[in-house]
Amino acid sequence: MPNDQLTTRDRVRALVREVLDNALPDAEEEPLPGSAASPAPISSSNAPPPLASPRSASPELVELPVARDESSKSVITEDDVRGLAEGARLRIAEGARLTPLAADVVRERRIELVRRAARRGSGQAKTLAVGADHGGYPMKEELKKFLAELGHRVRDFGTHSIDAVDYPDFAHAVARAVADGEADLGIVIDGAGVGSAMTANKVPGVRAAACYSVKVARNSREHNDANVLTLGSQTITPAEMREIVQVWLATDITEERHRKRVAKIEAVERQYRS
């Protein structure tokens, strides 16, 4: 290569380096590795975040902790707010109502109510298959009215009186309706809820859960994707029944880790199908 071309190329490179050096501020110069005295480079990782307007900020990212969670209840009573400090935050369900005494306490103590949005699918009308033996018949009638109030459709598989009957017959009928797709979910009531759960779980495709509390009901749906709920008329009150049913219907399985475990339940079931 001729010397004059080499000299020209060197001059161009030197000129480019000079332009770049003059264009970059000193603060952006990269420090030597291991040099504590060198200034830290300005980068996206340590630069201050851009200011956001209060309206654009997501409240979920900065939500303060609540003092108490009563979001499983549809009615908040004085007992539910008793003992809360002034200015405390109380989480309640989106559609929950406060009794007059509870509302007075909330106002006097300036308690902040944090309404929890209903879970996915809770607002959708479903077709519910219901059934009961003679011991569960009175509660089943109350259940049907409550489901209608929530906007759901009901298919009643009996029994229709307090005359003695056998609970497996009605648990089987409800479970078959769910397994065959005639109903989205099923609810069966007997004395304790256990026998009906055992019967319903013999039907392929059914995952029945005997629930005696709101916590168990939520878990049975969120973790196990239960599609049949069994209740014991001798173990819970009508008010507890309404709370359990409302939460059970409002809860869905959402996390993939739970879906994977339910798939294993189904795989076990397939091994024993004839």
d(CA 138, CA 191): 11
Q: Which pair of tokens denotes residue 164? A: 């003695």
- CA 52 to mean position of chain CA atoms: 29
3-state helix, strand, coil in the chain (%, to 5): 40, 15, 45
Instruction: Confirm if 246 and 223 have CB atoms less than 8 A apart.
Output: no
Q: Is the dihedral of CA 245, 247, 251, 255 positive or negative?
A: negative
Alpha carbons 158 and 129: distance in angstroms, whole number: 10
The letter for the amino acid at 209 is A
3-state SS of 161-187? CCCCCCHHHHHHHHHHHHHCCCCCEEE
Q: From the candidates 160, 172, 223, 258, give the one annotated as an active-site residue.
A: 223
CA 31 vs CA 15, 40, 42, 227: distances in Å = 23, 7, 11, 62
Q: For this structure, is 258 an active site residue?
A: no
Distance CA 97, CA 215 (A): 20
- Which residue, 86, 133, 132, is CA-closest to 111? 86
- Token readout for 208 is 């029945």
Which residues carry out catalysis?
A: 223
